[in-house]
């Protein structure tokens, strides 16, 4: 329930910002209303506003300047966020599409890593393997994020981070003993460059997560 409220709050703030940009004809580089004004307009707490603004900043819609306020970023970046936010507002079915799109990014990142010797030999894969073996607290989202980061596509990372915000709650949880084997197969396949085996292990993992949601 709490996460649903957070998503609703994010959507409200996105809609409000779009309206402000349109009605006040705010141009790239111009200042947006302060956090206090947004809090008053939306009748929400400052922490909710800050979290939504942080998410929008990650995607490049806005820029925060220390001591100077929040400003509208490049119009091209704004259109990207507008497309994503409008899509998310379409309804329940969009959640399934968001998950599918997120998984496309993750599979492609795995493929890129498998095909690149330098990426396959990054120490993070051994570190994750050992952490899972020792049953350390590894968050599922963290493992996936490392794959996206390693692939080297910063735009994909920005989009992926926003997709995760609307994706399965279960990604925020720790890896369990049941997932240990399939994740170690995934990590070792990545290191060996076995692309098909890595994708198969990833798909098995996603299927497992869907069965426990």
- The residues facing 70 across adjacent strands are 64
* 113 in the same domain as 143: yes
End-to-end alpha-carbon separation of the chain, Å?
Answer: 14
* 118 in the same domain as 203: yes
Q: What are phi and psi of 64, to 5 degrees?
A: -105, 125
Run of H or E residues at 69 = strand 69-72
* 201 in the same domain as 137: yes
The average pLDDT across 2-31 equals: 69
Confidence band, pLDDT 50/70/90 cuts, at residue 126? very high
The CATH number of the domain holding residue 45 is 1.10.10.10
With a cut of 50, say whether residue 89 has pLDDT above it: no
Helices 46-59, 75-88: axis angle to 10 degrees equals 120
* 95 in the same domain as 141: yes
* 173 in the same domain as 100: yes
* 151 in the same domain as 71: no
By percentage, how much of the chain surpasses pLDDT 70?
A: 79
Measure the CA–CA gap between 168 and 96, rounded to whole angstroms: 9
Contact between residue 170 and residue 209 where contact means Cβ atoms under 8 Å apart: yes
* 57 in the same domain as 118: no
Among 85, 116, 146, residue at a domain's last position: 85
Measure the CA–CA gap between 52 and 99, rounded to whole angstroms: 20
* 39 in the same domain as 101: no
* 114 in the same domain as 25: no
Q: Return the structure tokens found at 60.
A: 């490049």
State how far Cα 89 lies from the chain centre. 17
Measure the CA–CA gap between 164 and 2, rounded to whole angstroms: 16
With a cut of 80, say whether residue 40 has pLDDT above it: yes
What pLDDT is recorded for position 170? 85
Among 60, 85, 110, residue at a domain's last position: 85
Higher-confidence residue of 166 and 39: namely 39
* 103 in the same domain as 62: no
pLDDT per position as a tens digit, 130-185: 999 998 889 999 999 999 999 998 888 888 887 887 776 788 889 999 999 999 99
What pLDDT is recorded for position 75? 46
**Average pLDDT over all residues of the chain:** 81
The average pLDDT across 53-62 equals: 71
* Number of domains present in the structure of the chain: 2
What pLDDT is recorded for position 90? 52
Domain extent, residue 114, equals: 91-211
* 181 in the same domain as 135: yes
* 102 in the same domain as 60: no
Q: Return the structure tokens found at 101.
A: 């799109």
- pTM confidence score: 0.62
The average pLDDT across 116-139 equals: 93
- Helix, strand, coil percentages, rounded to 5, for the chain: 75, 5, 20
With a cut of 90, say whether residue 111 has pLDDT above it: yes
């Amino acid at each position: 329930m709490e996460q649903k409220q957070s998503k609703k709050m994010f959507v409200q703030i996105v809609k409000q910002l779009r309206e402000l940009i349109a009605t006040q004809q705010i141009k790239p580089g111009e200042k947006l209303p302060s956090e206090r004004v947004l809090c008053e307009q939306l009748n929400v707490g400052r922490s909710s506003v800050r979290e939504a603004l942080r998410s929008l900043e990650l995607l490049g819609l806005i820029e925060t300047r220390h001591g100077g306020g929040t400003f509208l970023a490049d119009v091209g970046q704004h259109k990207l966020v507008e497309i994503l936010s409008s899509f998310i507002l379409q309804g329940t079915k969009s959640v399934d599409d968001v998950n599918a799109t997120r998984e496309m990014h993750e599979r492609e990142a795995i493929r890129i890593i498998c095909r690149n010797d330098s990426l396959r030999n990054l120490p993070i894969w051994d570190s994750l393997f050992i952490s899972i073996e020792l049953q350390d607290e590894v968050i599922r989202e963290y493992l996936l994020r490392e794959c996206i980061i390693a692939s080297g596509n910063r735009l994909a990372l920005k989009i992926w981070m926003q997709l995760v915000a609307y994706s399965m709650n279960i990604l925020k949880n720790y890896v369990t003993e049941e997932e240990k084997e399939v994740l170690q197969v995934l990590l070792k396949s990545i290191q060996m460059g076995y692309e098909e085996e890595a994708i198969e292990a990833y798909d098995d993992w996603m299927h497992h997560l869907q069965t426990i949601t």
